[in-house]
Each structure stands twice: as structure tokens, then as C-alpha cells.
Amino acid sequence: MSFFAVLFALILEQARPLARGNWMHVRLRRWARWSRRSIDAGRAHLGWIAWSVAVIVPSALTLLINLLLWQISSVLAFLWSVAILYATLGFRQFSHHFTTIRDALDDGDEDGARELLANWRQVDSSELPRSEIVRHVIEYSVLAAHRHVFGVLGWFSVFAALGLGPAGAVFYRMAEFVSRYWESQSNRPGEGASAALQRVAARAWSAIDYLPARITALGFAVVGSFEDAIDAWRTYIQQSRLGPPGTAVQHNDGVILAATSGAVNVQLGGLALRPRPSSPASEPRPSAGLDFGGVARELDSSTAALPGRQPEVGHLRSIVGLVWRSVVLWMVLLALLTLARLLG
């Protein structure tokens, strides 16, 4: 059933993506804000309580509804899984940024591409050369694909195999969201999360994403140039050991980008993006999903220049192929697992 739930959710998301500022994601943002305001007091143990309320409560509610629906009808439980995956899984929650920037570069409009990248990531990209625009688009898009698709698939599959329904998808997306959201609010006077709460959320997210990040990297290696991807992965690990210490979050992202670099033979790591100096700290704009943000600093501190060709517009097409082949690989594995459960 997991295979069919994912298949229907992906088809539905492609045909009718979630609108920006949809009611469900607005309420989840309010829930994360309420959890912080009600519990956060600058202490680590209260930070873990706030994180648990923000992340585990929605996950447990998803599980409870799934169990109740199973008591009524397996069809209702299946539709519930499709609905949860539709809200947490999908390309259309970020792919329009990738597409518009790629089209601008294809048309030779580098200034337009810089502006689109700046608006997407809220960074200063005015001085980036063409190759760096492509590089940053690749990095952000690959990480978005991991967090919106492959990481969700991983946690959903684990929880579904344990009979816990789609709770894993909610658990993964909420863990990522609160880590990013609370950090983004840190500069708002009277609104920011404490440093203790931010550390708790970042630590929890890095642990939750540790295995999915490496599964995604391995998937890219399998559907891309396997030997080169593994070699780039190994090179990144060596560089990260020799360089200044980084966080586990950065290492998770770095592993994915290193495997991507080798899989399509593109050099990642280079000029850093800077936050827009004129952009005041503000609440993240409503998006079609729980989009990820605040990654520019992580990318450039976690990826020294990796071997490969200079980024070109053609690499954007290679990335699209790499991601879709990985989706096919996931669907084949889910189909085999579903078939094994039916036969067993």
C-alpha cells in the first residue's frame, strides 16, 4: 500500500500543487510559534519539551487518526496516507524556482537569473558570475529535492513498515521546519527562539536527517556515475576532517552535495552568497509547502571546492535527470517491498 500511496500523492501533487499560504501550513507555522512562546525559557530541558510538542504531537496525532481510520476502513486509511504525503512530499513545492532560473539562463538573461536567485534565497547575488549562479541553483535544488522528496520517502517507508502509517512523513518535515523556522526568527526582537532552543532543534534535525542524507547520496551514486560519486563523497569526508569543525547538519548537506558533484561531474563549492544587507529579519513568506531556508551559510561552510567540471547550464538538465532517476529507483524499491508484503 505504501507504493500506491506515494504514487497517487506524486501524481496529485504534479496535477494540482498546494497553493501558497494554504491553511494547513499556516496552522503548522502557528503551532511552531505557539510551542516556542509557551515553553521556551532559554534552558535545554525546556527546549526539548518545546521541540517535542512542536514535532511529536502532530506526528502522534497523524498516527492516531490513521489507527482510527484503519478501524473503520482500510480505504479511508489509504486516503489519509495519500493526503499526508500530498502535503509533505513533492517537487512542485520548490521546482518553480529552479525552472524559472533555468529558463532565464537559457534565454541569456543572467541579470534576471541573479534576481530570481536572490528572491528565492533572500541573498545578494548581484556579483555572481554565470557559473556560480548555476552552482548555487544546483546546490539549493538538490537539497530541496532531498528534504521534500527523498528524506520524506525514507521516514515514511520506515514508519509505514512498522505499521505507523504516514506519521514518519510528518515527523521528518516538522523536525526540519522547526529547526529552520526558529532560527529564522532569532533576530526578531521579542520573537526569537532562545539559543538553547535553536541548539536543541538543530541537534535533533541533524540526527533525524543523518541516515536519509546518506541514503539520498547513495541513490544519486547508483543512478549517476557511481565510482565518481563515491570518490567525491570520500574526498568531502577527508576535507571535512582536515578543515574547521562544522555541525552535523552541514555534514549531512555536504555528503549529498559531494555525491551529486561526482554523479554528474560538476564542481560544487565556491563563492559564498551573502544575506541581503537591506533585507530586515522577517517571518518567512508563505510558500506552497514547508520550504527550507537559511542554507546559504551551511552550503558554503560545508562544501569546499570538489572535483568536476565548471558548472554550466547543461548541468541543470543533468540534475533533473539525476533526481527523476532517483525517484524511479525509490518507486521500484517501494514496489518490491509492497509486493513482498502482499505475497508474505
Question: Is the confidence at residue 275, as pLDDT, over 70?
Answer: no
Amino acid identity, position 242: L
- Are the CB atoms for 322 and 268 separated by under 8 Å? no
Q: CA-to-CA distance for 54 and 31, rounded, in angstroms?
A: 7
pLDDT digits (tens, 9 = 90+) for 221-248: 999 999 999 999 998 888 777 555 555 5
Closest CA to 50 of 236, 140, 181: 181
What pLDDT, on a 0 to 100 scale, did the predictor assign at position 215? 96
| Domain-wise residue ranges, the chain | 2-274+281-343
Q: CA-to-CA distance for 227 and 222, rounded, in angstroms?
A: 9
252: Cβ–Cβ under 8 A, 6 or more apart, which residues?
206, 209, 210, 213, 214
Q: CA-to-CA distance for 241 and 272, rounded, in angstroms?
A: 21
Cell reading at 139: 546546490
Q: CA-to-CA distance for 98 and 119, rounded, in angstroms?
A: 12
What pLDDT, on a 0 to 100 scale, did the predictor assign at position 298? 41
State mean pLDDT over 312-340. 91
Task: Find residue 274's DSSP bridge partners.
Answer: 124
What pLDDT, on a 0 to 100 scale, did the predictor assign at position 273? 52
Amino acid identity, position 338: T
What pLDDT, on a 0 to 100 scale, did the predictor assign at position 286? 35
Cα separations in angstroms, 321 against 189, 247, 263, 303, 328: 44, 30, 11, 23, 11
pLDDT digits (tens, 9 = 90+) for 142-158: 999 999 999 999 999 99
Averaged pLDDT of the chain: 84
Radius of gyration of the chain (CA): 20
3-state class (DSSP) for residue 188: coil
Question: Is the confidence at residue 285, as pLDDT, over 50?
Answer: no
- Are the CB atoms for 10 and 87 separated by under 8 Å? no
Residue in this structure with the C-alpha cell 546559504, named with its chain if needed: 296
pTM: 0.86
pLDDT digits (tens, 9 = 90+) for 48-74: 999 999 999 999 999 999 999 999 999
Cell reading at 58: 502532530
State mean pLDDT over 308-328. 91
What pLDDT, on a 0 to 100 scale, did the predictor assign at position 60? 96
What pLDDT, on a 0 to 100 scale, did the predictor assign at position 123? 77
What pLDDT, on a 0 to 100 scale, did the predictor assign at position 166? 94
Confidence of residue 184 (pLDDT cuts 50, 70, 90): confident
